[in-house]
Amino acid sequence: MSRNIATGIDIGTYSINIAVLELSKNGSCPKVLALVSSPSNGLRKGNINDLKSASKSVSLAIKDAERASKIPIKRAYLGIGGTTLNSIFSKGLIAVSRADGEITDYDVKRVIHQSEVNIPKISNRSIIHTIPLQFSIDKDISIKDPVGMKGNKLEVDTIFIVCLTQHLNNLIKSVESNGVKVEDIIASPLANARAILGRRQKEVGSLILDLGAETTSVIVFEEDIPISVAVFPIGSDHITNDIALCLQISLDDAEELKRSYGIESATTRKISHIVEARLNDVLDLVGGHLKKINKNEMLPAGAVLAGEGSMISNLADFIKSDLKIPAEAGTCGFLKEEINGKWSCAVGLALLGLDENPQINLGFAMANRTKNFVVKWLKNFLP
């Protein structure tokens, strides 16, 4: 019997993280076959600007993962992030097709398609995920599952996660040029959620704050559905650079000081204002986004931290104080090995791959692919 193995590839500005997971025959906790991190070149703010360099970096990372896992990697699930990733809201409205007014699956698909048609012009961008948030019938009843109910008009509020088409194509090329087939492209914040958010957190309201090297991404969940995605052009390396400049020390030494932020000592007290100034810049952007979507101080499950920046000491306490919500470092604790938030995207991608097994579903099902290997996610968020 063939082994049930999935690989997730997370290509960041300064590192490429790869996770290779295997699910046993009885469907117990996935086993980690490999977790590798390799330097990344050819990217800026999460976007590929030198395809040749990026492809070479991916090649080296894949070879490392093959050595660690002791298996050839021929297929993978690929995350996409960067500053061109964001979410767009749109509405769709149709007349119900049946004469008796009963709403069918066909009507649901039609109204979602209409909401896509109604998106304002998004030149040079591709839709990665289409997620219906809420349906309404005759502008009266709001419901998650309209199928089987009756009415004349069906309306939907939909969130579309989009990115720059060129970046999408370059990411796929950087992997497939190395002989690895891209099974699906998944927005990195959603992959993070698969790895480090529980259903209860997604239901009551929470966010994932992924503090990467040059970008910070946020995804907000409520009622088990992602309701907003945003990426900001500032990350943890800006803190490192500030420390290096102000103290005139090497970047490696500055990185070490950054990670010790909040640990009381004469040295760290000198740099606290540097770290906190940059963190305030990040959290001003995050807080502004939460206000924009009317979720400021309104997320009971709080913030879960991911990415390289989540390794900064006492970051959770700083976020609690600034955003006025609970905060904690994310871990992939349900695996046989507890893994920190640095790996959440790569691990989440691999878990989404295992979810596609028709006999075993880990709770975050995926839908049909498009011709660009892009997941539509309708199966997960439709009734």
Which range is least confidently modeled, 11-20, 139-148, 177-186?
Answer: 139-148
Residues 203 and 175 in one domain: no
Contact status, residue 92 vs residue 177, Cβ threshold 8 Å: no
What is the domain-level CATH number for residue 357? 3.30.420.40
Same domain, residue pair 373 and 254: no
Which residue is it, tokens 């995920």?
129
Q: Are 330 and 341 in contact (CB under 8 A)?
A: yes
Residues 6+ apart with CB under 8 A from 20: 5, 6, 7, 32, 33, 34, 35, 65, 68, 69, 71, 73, 350
CA distance 11 to 34: 16
Q: Answer yes or no: do 223 and 182 share one domain.
A: no
Lowest mean pLDDT among 117-126, 161-170, 327-336: 327-336
How does residue 265 score in pLDDT terms, banded at 50, 70 and 90? low
Domain count for the chain, please give it. 3
Report yes or no: 203 and 224 within 8 Å, Cβ to Cβ. Answer: yes
Q: What are phi and psi of 256, to 5 degrees?
A: -65, -40
Q: Would you list the DSSP string of 203-218? A: HH-EEEEEE-SS-EEE
What is the domain-level CATH number for residue 99?
3.30.1490.110
Lowest-confidence region among 37-51, 145-159, 171-185, 352-366: 352-366
pLDDT > 90 fraction of the chain, expressed in percent and rounded: 62
Contact 286, 209 (CB under 8 A): yes
Query: Confidence class of residue 24 from pLDDT cuts 50, 70 and 90?
Result: confident
pLDDT averaged over the chain?
86
Give the global pTM: 0.87
94 to 131, 269, 381: CA distances (angstroms):
18, 61, 20
Is residue 55 scored above 70 in pLDDT? Answer: yes
Phi-psi region of 46 (alpha: psi -120 to 50; beta: other; left: phi over 0): left
Same domain, 359 and 260: no
pLDDT, tens digit (0-9, with 9 covering 90-100), for 196-254: 998 899 999 999 999 988 899 999 999 989 999 999 999 888 888 988 898 888 988 88
Q: Are residues 321 and 220 in the same domain?
A: yes
pLDDT reported for residue 333: 65
> Same structural domain for residues 61 and 124?
no
Cα–Cα distance between 258 and 260 in angstroms, integer? 5
User: Which residues are bridge partners to 218 per DSSP?
Assistant: 209, 230
Backbone angles phi, psi at 206, to 5 degrees: -160, 170
pLDDT digits 0-9 by tens, 139-168: 887 888 899 999 999 999 999 999 999 999
For residue 304 the two structure tokens come to 């879960």
